[in-house]
Structure 1
């Protein structure tokens, strides 16, 4: 951390943060990350007040470099109030670095947003944690989402839970998805079942090997082969 007498040109940094040139923004963010939070966070807060979503996105990226209470409060405000998914999605990434206290805010955002970008980002973040109850909550919402990519990420999240204390409810949902009318959901369910071999999943994979869609059959065969290699 530089001494105050050795601070970089803060006015120039602020101008570069507002610049359209990505290379200038990146250098400015990297430089600001080396400055103490009590100096950097007010600069980022001013940037966060911009009507330009790109500048707000840069601001929340910078706040993630300063894990102090003012940064957390600003990021929490973005999650609650900003309407641009590019900004809130980036804010979700930044606030995740604050640890467990950020999880309820991320789950709440997931529940209240209809943005596929934000929902997929939050699921990816939660899968790096051991917050199994929260993962199940968002996965249940995701598999009911109208956006297919969100639904598929939700199915894979259920597979993640097959090695967790919430194995039973996750497995129940996956076994139901094995009979879903859309082949992509059956395909993802087959892939997800790979994490757990028991009588129920063995029967499901055997059934999916007779599926009408070749990709589902291929996935089921791959899971069966994986299990065989593990037991061998």
Structure 2
């Protein structure tokens, strides 16, 4: 699709036409694509703004970064903000202040999950740990489950004791989903506190929790030559 066709389709009242035009923009250099994506980032349809955010993450320029900042912090739709978090993370450490600000200020579960995933990809252990600690106190179960999974990644690292200290109290959680997630996470740790807590969870009243304990207890049998 040539540039004239793309510009015409971006002005179309048909959402699908605008989406096709943005898809075609992926083949163009940032100097061409980003100015056109600026208009897409203000589109009335959230799906168009989400696609604009995704595409901006692949067209890394100061202007695309600024557009993503605006979408991440100011867009009314959580889907767009979540996609913007994924996209802005492509800028690496430059994106950390914006991701952390959004994580502190935006309470929507989808946005927070996207930011946690983005932080994990950026390989910043201390920032990831601090964010997981905040997330483990979230009101949304899916965010808390993600925090448990992230803290489990610190097993075997110099921060494993700190991670375990944050995880163990969840054995008393009223939510069986969190206790089951905890059981899976504790299998990553070799400390005696983890093993003792797994023994407690093995007696849990909820069969999902017990199953999670037993799943991690299964070890592959040695292969027979």
Q: Same fold (TM over 0.5)?
A: yes
Aligned length: 220
2:100 is the counterpart of 1:107:
yes
Residue aligned with 2:185, SS: helix
The aligned residue for residue 132 of structure 1 is: 125
CA contact (8 A) 1:205 1:224 kept: no
The aligned residue for residue 85 of structure 1 is: 78
Q: Once the two structures are superposed, what CA deviation does each residue of 1:44-71 show, in whole Å capped at 9, x if it has no partner?
A: 1122233433332232122122111211
CA contact (8 A) 1:48 1:56 kept: yes
The aligned residue for residue 143 of structure 1 is: 136
Distance 1:148 1:196 in 2: 23
The aligned residue for residue 42 of structure 2 is: 49
Distance 1:130 1:61, change over 3 A: closer
Distance 2:201 2:41 in 1: 50
**Structure 1, gaps ≥5 residues long:** 1-7
2:197 is the counterpart of 1:199:
no
Distance 1:149 1:37, change over 3 A: same
Residue aligned with 1:171, SS: helix
Deviates more, 1:212-221 or 1:54-63: 54-63
Match of 1:186 among 179, 183, 186: 179
Distance 2:198 2:48 in 1: 49
| Alpha-carbon distance, 1:83 to partner | 2.3
Distance 1:212 1:130 in 2: 38
Distance 1:162 1:114 in 2: 28
Residue aligned with 1:127, SS: helix
The aligned residue for residue 39 of structure 1 is: 32
Q: What is the RMSD of the two structures over their aligned residues, measured on CA atoms?
A: 2.2
CA contact (8 A) 2:19 2:48 kept: no
Match of 1:170 among 152, 155, 163: 163
**Structure 2, gaps ≥5 residues long:** none
The aligned residue for residue 208 of structure 1 is: 201
Distance 1:125 1:211 in 2: 34
| TM-score in terms of structure 2 length | 0.88
Distance 1:65 1:200, change over 3 A: same
Match of 2:15 among 17, 20, 34: 20
Distance 1:14 1:161, change over 3 A: farther
| Alpha-carbon distance, 1:27 to partner | 4.1
The aligned residue for residue 109 of structure 2 is: 116
| TM-score in terms of structure 1 length | 0.85
